[in-house]
Structure 1
Amino acid sequence: MFKYFTGLFLMIGLTSLSAQTEKPNVLFICVDDLRTELGAYGKHYVKSPNMDALAKSGALFTNHYVQVPTCGASRHAILTGMRPSKPVHLSNNAIVEELSIKTESSVPETFIHRFKQAGYHTVGIGKISHSADGYVYGYEEEPTTKKELPHSWSDLAFDSGKWKTGWNAFFAYESGENRQSLKKQVKPYEAGETDDQGYPDGLTTNLAISKLKELKKNGEPFFMGVGFFKPHLPFNAPKKYWDLYNEENLPVSTNPNIPENINQKSLHASSEFNQYALGEEKAGLDKQVSDAYARKLKHAYLASISYIDAQIGRLYQQLKELELDKNTIIVIWGDHGWHLGDQRVWGKHTLFENALKSTLIINSPYSQHKAKKVRAIVESVDIYPTLLDMCGIEQTKSTDGESFEKHIKYNIPDTEEVAYSYFKNGISMRTKTYRLTKYFRKDQPDIELYDHHKGNAKEDKNIAKENPEIIKELMPLLEKGDTGLFTVSE
């Protein structure tokens, strides 16, 4: 959503709590690498009944875009409400280098910290910031006691089970081994002969349920963040979720080729995916994987989604049993999208629609937020002011985001709805009808334009060269999103 706003947000008659006497709780669920691959988004082959139900009775955002298509940087943007303005903001180290080192002040480090300042008990379980368990250490290092968000959490918890550390659990295989311990001699998927607790996300759900019971007894308003790992690689899930699908019937990408009229530097060779050394085929820009293997990988990704959907269903059931559902706002947020062979890429890390568009569902107990399909373009940075707005909490720090509660209530369109994203030395701008991307590089072409008039566009042909007037019209708007992050390089 376009905004050029740097002052404090003024709540002008939009506060949901005006007629409420009790502060609402917030259950904020982060799902890693979750693109809009749910039944609620029209993907009827996906078995996601719990998220679909929450979307149907709540608000489903059909045009939500992240600021950066990589985990740590995307989470830095949503937590601070700020677009990236320096190189570290594009990396997985953004939170560690920008937030972990700061002493506490009246200026909140994140919107979660602001909830804590406002009297909420804040609980973090799993991957909310970039770290798998909320503490600062490397993939193969011993855990530390240094919190990634030192001032945001009243209570930080994680059950690493037989994997022993958060990062081991993040890359877990059912045996108790992980990608690191097996020296990457692993497949990028696994159908484990186990129950939900045989993988870490099941343990996360158990812990979250236990914490909900404690919070119910305490009676304080709470903000609970629950971060699920799947469907991040490796696509590992209990076999019963694989059994929900007939692999032969699953669709493969309808857009598996490199787009016309682009430089291949706009894409990548799927290196994150290819480091799983025992995969049957390698992905690359030189050739597509076979349709059979693409279906296998799609099967694995969908099984992982169904596994997480079941965990979200368990959490919601517990909310209802505790009668907390009557006063709890539930947010389901995918930290970015993922190419499933689209544009010949397996992974995120591009400025294309597949990597930037992700799931956003907000299920509120208030009638004015019910049963809405919100088609307005919104950005992850908007979530910071929106949640404060919905909970009647004053915003004390300026952000690049703007509350979109009005879209949930009234479906009021903005004059200019725009989402800005940043990566690969480029800025991408999504409007209702176009995606315009400008790369700060010497390799040509450095401008890409994709037509979204028909909706669900594949972004398979760069039409910038034959449409200079459209470029001329849109470029000033793109430049408004230029934070000074990039300069032309090789």
Structure 2
Amino acid sequence: MWGKKMQGADATKPQFLHLGFHLPHTPVLPPKSFRDRFKDKTYQVPDFSEAELAKLPKQLLGIYKTSKMKGMSDDEIQQAIQDYYAFCAYGDFLIGEAVETFKQYSEKNNQEYVIIYTVGDHSWHLGEQGMEAKFGPWQQSVGNAAIVVSSDKSLLPANKVNTDLVEFVDFAPTIMAAGGVDASAPKYDYLDGVSLFDVYKQTVPKRDYVLGEINVIVGPRAYLHSQRFRFSMRTRPFSNIKLKPNQLGKDLKWALTAPAEKVEMALYDLEKDPKEQNNVAYDSQYLGLANWFRNKLGNIVLGDNRIEADWSQANSYHLSNFAVGADDKKLNIPKNLIPN
């Protein structure tokens, strides 16, 4: 639209703005004024032992090898952490400017406002798992928070914290609700998420887990996080990042039927291992639980209305629905599978 004449927003109607900040992303290049604020700080680098690698499956080892801090000097590691935080601070500054401008616009036009701060589309390792990167199923790669504020305090009171498990799919229903749309209406059944306003007010059931799937770097892998356990597994037998036309919808039950070692499971008991440093998926006392998670997660991501698309051509996709309803947000793990 550069150089074109555009009609401005109609201030008499509700406005929706989406601001996507491409930071803090690589290359990590904070402005000098922000970098200087952090250059003299010293950070404690998270504990990591190469012994952790012995129990990682091949797929997760591949992520580690592309992102490892090994080989960096202590000074280089400190600079990497300093610059990352400086870039975050610069992002906070830009977001602050945008928010203040929007609040002034709303007040000038006598309109209420709702602002949703999404803290990244992923997180970042700064030494955890021995890495400086994202890409994995660990907390540092996929754990995020959101801040929601409203000028109407009856909609959402200030200074309240909710620690329920939520997902990115919740943002669409939340935005719709803020605009007066009932996202629970039957015509929006295709939406997977729920309004965060309802989560806060506890008018919707709490989820026992959240989940997702990634395919960057080493190919398809799905993960499921609960309060106590974090589980992940390879979902497809190939390692390419983009689906090839001859792979579309093929071997979708592979991860449910292949030998356990081929599925490359990872399981962390956060009650005993909060930093996710000991993969117990193949330990004898946890193997039954790992296979239970494998069946639960595999049915959800592979058979509960999974869509696979061949992006090289229009309208080329495959729908898999051999396990419709598997994503019920309940775990109900058999007690005999959970080690004392």
Q: TM over 0.5, yes or no? A: yes
Partner of 1:460: 277
Query: Match of 2:177?
Result: 389
Pairwise mapping of residues 52-451 of structure 1 onto structure 2 (< 5 A)? 215=9, 218-255=11-48, 257=50, 258-268=52-62, 284=68, 287-324=70-107, 327-333=112-118, 334-367=120-153, 368-370=155-157, 371-395=159-183, 396-397=187-188, 398-410=190-202, 414=206, 416-423=208-215, 424-440=219-235, 441=237, 446-451=264-269
Looking at structure 2, the residues matched to 446 and 336 of structure 1 have their Cα atoms a distance apart, in angstroms, of 23
Structure 1 residue 422: Cα displacement = 3.4
CA distance in 2, matches of 1:307, 1:299: 12
**2: CA distance between counterparts of 1:454 and 1:392?**
44
Distance 2:266 2:92 in 1: 36
Pair member with larger Rg: 2
SS of residue paired to 1:297:
helix
CA apart distance, 1:481? 2.1
* Kept after mapping to 2: 8 A contact 1:260/1:461: no
Calculate the TM-score normalised by the size of structure 2.
Answer: 0.67
Task: Tell me, yes or no, if the aligned pair for 2:116 and 2:146 is still in contact at 8 Å.
Answer: yes
1-side partners of 2:61 and 2:55: how far apart? 13
SS in structure 2 at match of 1:430: strand
Q: Measure, in 2, the Cα distance between the counterparts of 1:447 and 1:454.
A: 18
User: What SS does the corresponding residue of 1:322 show, helix, strand or coil?
Assistant: helix
Q: Aligned-pair distance for 1:473?
A: 4.4
User: C-alpha distance in 1, partners of 2:228/2:65?
Assistant: 32
Say whether the 8 Å CA contact 2:41–2:82 is kept in structure 1: no
Q: Distance in 2 between matches of 1:317 and 1:252?
A: 35
CA contact (8 A) 2:123 2:143 kept: yes
Counterpart contact for 1:376–1:411, Cα < 8 Å: no
Higher RCO (C-alpha 8 Å, min separation 6): 1
Does structure 2 retain, via aligned residues, the 8 Å contact 1:255–1:458?
no
TM-score, structure 1 as length reference = 0.48
Q: Which residue of 2 aligns with 1:87?
A: none
SS of 2:169 mapped into structure 1: helix
Deviations 1:262-298 (A, max 9, x none): 12421446798xxxxxxxxxx548x352332111011
Cα distance in 1 for residues equivalent to 2:2 and 2:19? 10
Structure 1's unaligned 5+ residue stretches are 1-155, 159-210, 273-282
Query: What is the number of equivalent residue pairs in this alignment?
Result: 265
Contact 1:268/1:345, CA 8 A, preserved across alignment: no
Identity of aligned residues (%): 22
Task: Find the aligned partners of 1:288 and 1:264 in 2 and give their Cα distance.
Answer: 21
Please give the alpha-carbon distance, in whole angstroms, between the structure 2 residues aligned to 1:260 and 1:411. 45
Contact persistence 2:103–2:113 (CA under 8 A): no
Secondary structure, aligned partner of 1:362: strand
Q: CA deviation at 1:157?
A: 7.1
Q: Tell me the amino acid that sits aligned with residue 438 of structure 1.
A: M
1:390–1:323 distance in 2 versus 1, CA, 3 Å: closer
CA 1:246 to 1:439, structure 2 compared with 1: closer, same or farther past 3 Å?
same
**Post-superposition shift, 1:375?**
0.8
Give, in whole Å, the separation in 1 of the partners of 2:212 and 2:48: 23
Distance 2:152 2:71 in 1: 47
Matched residue SS, 1:228: coil
